[in-house]
Structures are given as structure tokens and as C-alpha cells.
């Protein structure tokens, strides 16, 4: 498995261990992780700290050229909010662990020139399926209600 997707999965597992939703993400520039994060809505009482948003926040301010040359890895298909951030910052490539438990705004991203690679990663699928079965009320608080 790709080391960067593994880092995103590690972030997702960290979120689950903290009592949150197991979605993780890393932002990679020139072969190194510059931002990592996981869904921290529960832990921080946040409305916006999805895995991708947390990774972007933890990367700090970057120039447009850094975002344009970066790849975002995420364990789950990006929702509308996270897809908007991807477009806003001009990230041109997104590697998605899985889109079976939730289909985000992949068509929007593709229509705006973002290259998407959906890996159908079994670890990502299993993490989300087990979480949704165990905590449907928490999943349905946010993007799960759209499923």
C-alpha cells in the first residue's frame, strides 16, 4: 500500500481511538507530508473539522503554487465542503481510499479539472462500515444523513 494512504488510514484510526469519526487525510508536496489530520468534529465540538479540512489547517498557510503541486490523500470521498476547499486552494490531484460508504462530490471535482484516483481500499471500507454500524447516530449527524 502507498505510504501516504497508509498515513491517512493511521489518521483515521487515531480519530476513532479518540471517540470520533474514522476519516483521515494527508496533504503531500514534493514527496513529503506537509499536513495531516483526521475528522475531529466530535473531539473539538466543531462543525467543520473533517479529515481534509484538518489536514489543510495543519499544513498552515501555503502559497498557491504549493497547493497546485500537492496531492491530497483522503480515506473517504470528499464531501461538498471539503471538495470546495480542494477547489478553492487549487489542489489538482486527490487520492480517495473509498467511495462505497459515502459518495462525495467526485463529479464536481472532475468537472473542474481535479484528477481523482479512487482506490477501493479494503481497510478504508472496513473502517467506515464498522463505524457506521456501531455509531449510526453519530454518522447521521453530518454527511451520513445524505446516504
Which are the catalytic amino acids? 52
Closest CA to 118 of 132, 136, 102: 102
* Helix, strand or coil, per DSSP, at residue 117: strand
Give Cβ neighbours of residue 6 (< 8 Å, ≥ 6 apart).
Answer: none
Question: Length of the chain in residues, anyone?
Answer: 147
Q: Please, what is the Cα angle at 132 between 129 and 138, to 5 degrees?
A: 155
Strand partners of residue 28: 33, 71
Amino acid at each position: 500500500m502507498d505510504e501516504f494512504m497508509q498515513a491517512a488510514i493511521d489518521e483515521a484510526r487515531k480519530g476513532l481511538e479518540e471517540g470520533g469519526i474514522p476519516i483521515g487525510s494527508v496533504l503531500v508536496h514534493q514527496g513529503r507530508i506537509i499536513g495531516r489530520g483526521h475528522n475531529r468534529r466530535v473531539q473539538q465540538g466543531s462543525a467543520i473539522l473533517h479529515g481534509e479540512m484538518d489536514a489543510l489547517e495543519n499544513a498552515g498557510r501555503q502559497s498557491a503554487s504549493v497547493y497546485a503541486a500537492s496531492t491530497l490523500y483522503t480515506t473517504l470521498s470528499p464531501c461538498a465542503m471539503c471538495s470546495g476547499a480542494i477547489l478553492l486552494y487549487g489542489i489538482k490531484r486527490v487520492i480517495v481510499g473509498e467511495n462505497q460508504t459515502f459518495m462525495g462530490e467526485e463529479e464536481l471535482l472532475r468537472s473542474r479539472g481535479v484528477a481523482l484516483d479512487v482506490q477501493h481500499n479494503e481497510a478504508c471500507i472496513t473502517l467506515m462500515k464498522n463505524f457506521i454500524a456501531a455509531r449510526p447516530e453519530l454518522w447521521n449527524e453530518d454527511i451520513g444523513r445524505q446516504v
